A and B are shown apart, each in its own frame.
Chain A
Amino acid sequence: GAVVSQHPSWVICKSGTSVKIECRSLDFQATTMFWYRQFPKQSLMLMATSNEGSKATYEQGVEKDKFLINHASLTLSTLTVTSAHPEDSSFYICSARDLAKYNEQFFGPGTRLTVL
């Protein structure tokens, strides 16, 4: 299957700092990537759709100025959590869509963010 990587795997930061998470498709090009958030013992919640070369589409209730998304190339999307607060602590997962495989989405390993 297609491989998607995420970096970092985990991060601990102080309240008020910004954190950048990278999502890369390693062996395929992804015009579209997705960012999800997952709370403990819950399913995935879509935050935004990241389109290469254009602005991201945010789901209702997700602050675009809080969660900055950049999709500068066909293999890289970044999510920046700006001025992070403890309530932003969560497991963030990205996925990339492989057009060559029925538009299947392949997920990264996730990034655990803890804001102190």
Chain B
Amino acid sequence: TQLLEQSPQFLSIQEGENLTVYCNSSSVFSSLQWYRQEPGEGPVLLVTVVTGGEVKKLKRLTFQFGDARKDSSLHITAAQPGDTGLYLCAGAHAGNMLTFGGGTRLMVKP
């Protein structure tokens, strides 16, 4: 089993603060995806990173894939209450199955 450790598990911050979520593994992934999930809904794909060292930006969200394709980070600048949700990273490997991290539950207080 290829594990993907995600941290922190919980994060409660004030509106306007910055935050970073990390996903780490000892395994190499062909690609890594970040999702956001609202309660009672399925995960929604935010971004896919494929190349080692790749950085992608989605408005106030910055995603980075590690050079060795074993880790990734999600940085949110000036968080807003609308960013509240469960953030999931998922690494793709053989057979293109996804290994999910444990998730980070983010709450942004106004």
Q: Give A residues with C-beta under 8 Å from B.
A: 1, 4, 6, 32, 34, 41-46, 49, 91, 93, 95, 97, 102-110, 112
Contacts and interface: CB of A to CB of B under 8 A. Distances in A.
Main secondary structure of the interface of B (DSSP, over half): strand
Given A102-B50, A103-B96, A44 B33 contact: no
Nearest to A6: B42
Interface residues of B, number: 24
Interface stretch (B54-62, B70-78, B98-106): B98-106
Contacts of B98: 34, 46, 95, 105
Given A32-B96, A104-B33, A105-B98, A42 B103 contact: yes
Interface string B29-57: 00101010000111111001010000000
Main secondary structure of the interface of A (DSSP, over half): strand
Interface of B: 6, 31, 33, 35, 40-45, 48, 50, 88, 90, 92, 95-98, 100-103, 105
Contacts of B97: 34, 46, 49
Contacts of A112: 40
A112 B43 CA distance: 14
A104 B43 contact: no
A42 B45 CA distance: 18
Given A43-B100, A43-B103, A49-B97, A103 B92 contact: yes
**Among A32, A97, A102, which residue has the most Cβ atoms of chain B within 10 A?**
A102
Contacts of B103: 42-43
Given A4-B42, A32-B96, A112-B40, 8 more contacts: A43-B6, A45-B100, A95-B42, A103-B92, A103-B96, A105-B90, A106-B45, A109-B42
A110 B100 CA distance: 17
B88 A109 contact: no
